[in-house]
Amino acid sequence: MNDDPLEGLTEEQLLKKFEEKPSKWKKILIFSAALFMIFLMVSYAWINYDLDDIIVSLFKSKTLEENKIIINETTSLTFKEESYQVLLKNYLENQDKEFKACLLGTIKENDYKITETIIPEMIKQSFNQVISKSCPEKTIAELHSHPYRRCIESEQDLKTKELINKPETLMIIMCEKERFSFY
């Protein structure tokens, strides 16, 4: 009688019997390494693409619906006639650089009705800066574009607002085809 438990087993059965089964600790180590790699990738994206600016921008900005933007409980802005089409055309043509627009129209009980969009002469345009001629005196809102989904006003934007000595003039940032921020 042979006491060898391996006798009579095929080569395939022997390989299965001696195949190493992953230990519980090895599984935990692999899972931890995978989580760490995901953390590194998310951190890289967060830092390189300013995801925090995009997230804040999405919460702070307003969207255009049926040519109207509800700014707050008491104030709205409505584009009339072809005023939005002029603005949209300029936005699409200048996605690689900022541009400025002067919005003209009427203000009645905090409802801004835009009837005309004027694009002033641009002196300097870059991805994150625009210098242009001034808007006409009858402008009720000054708008400039920002890079895609970056609707947060810069320090320079706030300084420019201080220079305009008309409290009823809206200052607007356009950062998508139908996304705007007011400051």
Structural domain range at position 44: 11-48
38 & 71 share domain? no
- Are 27 and 68 in a shared domain? no
- Rounded to whole angstroms, how far apart are CA atoms 93 and 75? 29
70 with 36, same domain: the answer is no
Under the banding of pLDDT at 50, 70 and 90, the label for residue 135 is very high
Q: Quick one: pLDDT at residue 103?
A: 98
Separation between Cα atoms, residue 111 and residue 75, nearest integer Å: 6
103 and 42 housed in the same domain: no
Q: Is the dihedral of CA 93, 80, 144, 175 positive or negative?
A: negative
- Is the same domain home to 35 and 69? no
179: β partners: 63, 176
- Distances from the Cα of 58 to the Cα of 149, 177, 180, angstroms: 7, 13, 10
Calculate mean pLDDT across residues 31-40.
92
In this prediction, residue 80 carries a pLDDT of 93
Q: Specify the number of domains making up the chain.
A: 2
Burial (Cβ within 10 Å: 0-12, 13-18, ≥19) of residue 135: buried
* 87 and 115 belong to one structural domain: yes
On whether residue 6 sits in a domain, the answer given is no
Question: In this predicted structure, what is the pLDDT of residue 146?
Answer: 95
169 in any annotated domain: yes
Check whether residue 80 and residue 29 sit in a common domain: no
Note the pLDDT tens digit of each residue in 44-84. 766 766 777 778 888 899 999 999 999 999 999 999 989 99
